[in-house]
Amino acid sequence: MKRRTNTAQAEAAAELIQPSATLTAKLARLSRKHLLTAVGTGLALWVVVGVELLALGLFVDWWLDLPWNARLLVLVGHGVVAAYILGRFVVRPLLRPPSEDALALMVERAYPQLQGRLIAAVQLTRPGALGPGASAAMVTALVRQTEAMAEGMDFGRPVQTDKLRSLGLAAAIVLVLAGIVLGLGGPEVRVLFRRAFLSAEPVPRKTRVWVWDGHKHVGRGDSVRLQAMALGLVPATGKLQVAWASGRSQTFTLEPTRTNRAVFACTLENVQESFEYAVWLNDGRSDTFTVRVLPRPTVVSLQCEQQFPPYTRLPPVRRLPGDLALLAGSLLQLTVTASKDIHQAALQLVGPQHSAEHPTAAEAASLTDRPDTNTPQRIPLRVHPTNRRELVGQLRIPARGLSGFSVWMLDTEGMESRDSAVYRIEVLPDRPPTVRITYPEREEELYTRQARVLIGFEAADDFAVAKVRLCYKADSAGPSAVQSIELDLGHEQPAQLRRRYEWNLGDFNPLWPEGTRLEYWIEVEDNNDVTGPGLGASEHQFARLVSPAEKLADLLNRAGDYLGSVSDLAADQQKANQALGAIIREKARAP
pLDDT tens digits in sequence order for the chain, 591 residues long: 445 544 544 454 445 567 777 777 877 887 888 888 888 898 989 999 988 998 898 888 888 878 889 989 999 999 999 999 989 888 988 888 888 788 778 877 878 887 777 777 777 777 766 667 667 778 777 778 777 777 778 777 788 888 888 888 988 998 888 888 888 877 878 888 888 888 888 888 888 899 999 999 999 999 999 999 999 899 999 999 999 999 999 999 999 999 999 999 999 999 999 999 999 999 888 889 999 999 999 999 999 999 999 999 999 999 999 999 999 999 999 999 999 999 999 999 998 765 444 444 444 444 444 433 344 588 999 999 999 999 999 999 998 889 999 999 999 998 999 888 999 999 999 999 999 999 998 888 888 888 899 999 999 998 999 999 999 998 865 555 888 999 988 888 898 999 999 999 888 888 888 888 899 999 999 999 888 899 999 999 999 988 888 888 877 777 766 666 665 666 667 677 667 666 776 766 665
Looking at residue 581, what is its pLDDT? 65
> Would you say 292 and 217 are in contact if contact means Cβ atoms under 8 Å apart?
yes
- Classify strands 535-537 and 284-285 as parallel, antiparallel or unpaired: unpaired
Pairing of strands 541-545, 444-447: parallel
Query: At a CB cut-off of 8 Å and minimum separation 6, what does 322 contact?
Result: 423, 424
Alpha helices in 89-135 (DSSP H): 92-95, 100-110, 117-124
- CA–CA distance, 495 with 466 (Å, rounded to integer): 9
Cβ contact 443:427 at 8 Å: no
Contact 107, 158 (CB under 8 A): yes
Cβ neighbors of 264 (< 8 A, separation 6 or more) are 227, 228, 229, 230, 237, 238, 254, 255, 256, 257, 279, 281
* Number of neighbours of residue 248 by Cβ within 10 angstroms: 10
Report the C-alpha dihedral over residues 105, 107, 112, 117, rounded to 10 degrees: -70
Distances (CA, A) of 212 to 252, 263, 293, 364, 474: 19, 11, 19, 25, 80
Count of Cβ atoms closer than 10 Å to residue 92 Cβ: 14
Measured CA to CA, the distance from residue 334 to residue 393 in angstroms comes to 5
Q: What pLDDT is recorded for position 1?
A: 44
Task: Tell me the C-alpha distance between 289 and 376, whole Å.
Answer: 40
- SS3 label, residue 362: helix
| Four-residue CA torsion sign, 188, 189, 195, 197 | negative
Tell me 416's DSSP state: B
Listed in sequence order, the residues at least 6 apart from 163 whose beta carbon sits closer than 8 Å to its beta carbon are: 41
Check residue 363 and give its pLDDT.
46
Instruction: Say which amino acid occupies 532.
Output: G
Q: What is the pLDDT of residue 126?
A: 77
In contact, 452 and 439? CB cutoff 8 Å: no
Contacts of 476 (CB under 8 A, 6+ apart): 516
Contact 221, 272 (CB under 8 A): yes
Q: Which residues of 371-389 are buried (b: 16+ CB within 10 A; e: fewer)?
A: eeebeebbbbbebeeeebb
Contact residues for 466 (Cβ-Cβ < 8 A; gap 6+): 493, 525, 526, 527, 533
Rounded Cα distance between 113 and 110, Å, is 9
Question: Which of 350, 334, 339 has its CA nearest to residue 391?
Answer: 334
Between CA 398 and CA 350 the distance in angstroms is: 12
| CA separation for the pair 109, 77 (Å, rounded) | 40
Report how far residue 348's alpha carbon sits from residue 399's, in angstroms, rounded to the nearest whole number: 18
Alpha helices in 257-341 (DSSP H): none
Helix, strand, or coil here: 561? helix
> Are 512 and 518 spatial neighbours (Cβ–Cβ below 8 Å)?
yes
Say how many Å lie between the first and final Cα of the chain, rounded.
Answer: 202
